[in-house]
Amino acid sequence: MRILAVGEGNVVPPGEPFPIRYVVTANSYSSHYYYVDGVLRKTRSNSSTGSQAGEFSVTYPGGFSDGDRKTIAICLQHDGDLVCDEISIRAGQVLQLDQAVEVHTVGINNHVPAGQPFDISYDVLKPGSSSHYYYVDGSLAATQSKGSNDGGEFSITYPWGLAVGESTHVRICVDTAAEQACGEKLITGGPAPAGADAPAAFDADVMNDHFVTYGSCNPVCGYYENIYYGDSSVSWLPIVGPDSEPNGLRIDVYYPTQDGRVHSGSETNTLVIYAHSANHTKETMLGPKKGTLASYLDIEGGGAGGVTVAALDFRHPAKDIDENGYPVSKDDMSHAIQFFRYYADVFKINPDDIFITGSSLGAGAGIHAAVKEIANPDDPSPVRRVSSRVRGAFLATGQSSFSPQWFRRNFLEEEVWPYYQPDFYDDEERSIYGHAVADVDENSPILELGYEADFIDHKVTASEKSNKEVDLTHLPNYGLTILNQYKLHGIDDRIMVRESYGGSFGGDSTRFIMRNRISGD
């Protein structure tokens, strides 16, 4: 049983009936039971629902009063137990984004084959009847009438081609009531540069050299420590020190076996990559997150066909910068995914069954890695040629964009703009630090995003910012921007965004993995 997202992040208009869609994942002869705040309110017999797996819908007839929140559960009987899913729904409003144009990555990392026309795909967020305007290096190059449309993904062909090393700035705009909404990309002819921080060769012997025993056997008796998923010479500030401090592109890997070593045989495991929050390290897996680690390793009772867990250290996507002030680290997590995919046989994992979990900083980096593909088939490193796609991600309080310009325009009153991230580059292209909103496409993975606060319904004022009434770093509306993109691409059955999330991260992420993994039985 799986309930799909309702309304805008499970917020519905007050006083209005609303539909609830849900999926039954296997054939069932059970009636369907509907609970509101723990009380059975409706039953639909199997004779009316049928026995086939599939998507169903039920309407909540009366609506809620403004501000009311109710928990809706839908259940089936199976082997004497109730199999249920539940969702918290609030009546109210959420802040609606302005019209937006999001230009997707072009070619490989915005590099295209020299001398050839190329396509540019872009999203228009909201319905409209505006023509689409195409600017090249500041000059209007073309206009296309699109008629009235519901918004969606569009494309345009750049017909002239680019010489090797030649760059062009493309800006795509639509009219709004006040001004044009635009998205843009800088596109360069010729092959994409080599991916950063490529790792050294890796095999089972190297892996074995990293195995350490863990005396307490709680929750493991041993694990593989400090495996480099990137260039081993990379380190970073503010702290470079002993292994208890983050100082390299390294991972620890845990197996659900008695001794903690990789299992024998050829059976493959699901891989879960855990990304720590700010001011923490991968070692939190054996500290505050020990219970979460144990919960992951116990999926399917452990052993071959179960779950392998990797905890990684990574740099802050927006704060670890080079001498010119540009970030060097926004793809660290994607690079870790590529490493595991390329060496899947060594780790005995299914490369198509990788999940990311994490919170705060780890969730922000995780959202960007989850929806972004960075593979370059011509890269000199074979690791950088493989896909960075994942199957799913369960993430708490993550940012869907690190672009200060985009955040200011969408979520802050104009009087607040000068005081939000004033030291960050303010690029119109929105991509310097990472902008996951523009990377969502029809191949994006299963996502569940949770936020502790409620969605805001207005732009943040100067008073609210100065009094810290709103947590701008963990703003729940970040999740709604990804939800909107999933809806636009017709894949909103793959995403759930929850406000007022106060659940058990370890327990809820474990259930998410169990529900969506493909390895094992």
Q: Do strands 32-36 and 69-78 pair parallel, antiparallel, or not at all (unpaired)? A: antiparallel
Contact 355, 394 (CB under 8 A): yes
**E strand residue ranges, 410-452:** 446-450
Contact 273, 355 (CB under 8 A): yes
Residue 429 pLDDT: 75
Residue 521 pLDDT: 46
Query: Which has the closest alpha carbon to 44: 87, 76, 2, 1?
Result: 76
Q: Which residue bears the tokens 């539940």?
A: 86
d(CA 207, CA 225): 9
Contact 370, 393 (CB under 8 A): yes
pLDDT digits (tens, 9 = 90+) for 221-249: 999 999 999 999 887 655 544 444 456 89
Contact 137, 168 (CB under 8 A): yes
Most confident of 278-287, 334-343, 498-507: 334-343
Residue 236 pLDDT: 67
Q: How confident is the model at residue 59 (pLDDT cuts 50, 70, 90)?
A: very high
DSSP bridge pairs for 21: 57
Q: How confident is the model at residue 211 (pLDDT cuts 50, 70, 90)?
A: very high
The tokens for 30 are 């059970």
d(CA 388, CA 244): 28
Mean pLDDT to the nearest integer, 330-341 = 96
409: Cβ–Cβ under 8 A, 6 or more apart, which residues?
Answer: 98
273: Cβ–Cβ under 8 A, 6 or more apart, which residues?
Answer: 310, 311, 312, 333, 336, 337, 340, 354, 355, 356, 357, 390
Asked whether the predicted pLDDT for residue 269 surpasses 80, the reply is: yes
d(CA 249, CA 439): 24
247: Cβ–Cβ under 8 A, 6 or more apart, which residues?
Answer: 235, 236, 239, 240, 241, 313
Distances (CA, A) of 369 to 110, 433, 458: 17, 13, 29
Look over the chain and give the mean of its residue pLDDT values, rounded to a whole number.
Answer: 93
DSSP assignment of 273-320: EEE--TT--GGGGGTTTHHHHHHHHTGGGSSTTSEEEEEE----TTT-
Residue 238 pLDDT: 52
Q: How confident is the model at residue 350 (pLDDT cuts 50, 70, 90)?
A: very high
* Residue 241 CA neighbour count, 13 Å, CB half: 5
Mean pLDDT check: name the lowest of 2-11, 265-274, 429-438: 429-438
Q: Do strands 167-175 and 180-189 pair parallel, antiparallel, or not at all (unpaired)? A: antiparallel
d(CA 376, CA 385): 5
d(CA 371, CA 393): 10
Share of the chain above pLDDT 70, in %: 97
Residue 324 pLDDT: 73
3-state secondary structure of 393: strand
d(CA 459, CA 456): 8
- Catalogue all structural domains in the chain, each as residue range(s) with its CATH number: 2-91 (2.60.40.10), 101-189 (2.60.40.730), 204-516 (3.40.50.1820)
Mean pLDDT to the nearest integer, 80-106 = 95
Share of the chain above pLDDT 90, in %: 83
Mean pLDDT to the nearest integer, 87-106 = 96
DSSP assignment of 190-207: SPPPPPSSPPPP--HHHH
Residue 517 pLDDT: 96
Contact 57, 20 (CB under 8 A): yes
pLDDT digits (tens, 9 = 90+) for 110-164: 999 999 999 999 999 999 999 999 999 999 999 999 888 888 999 999 999 999 9
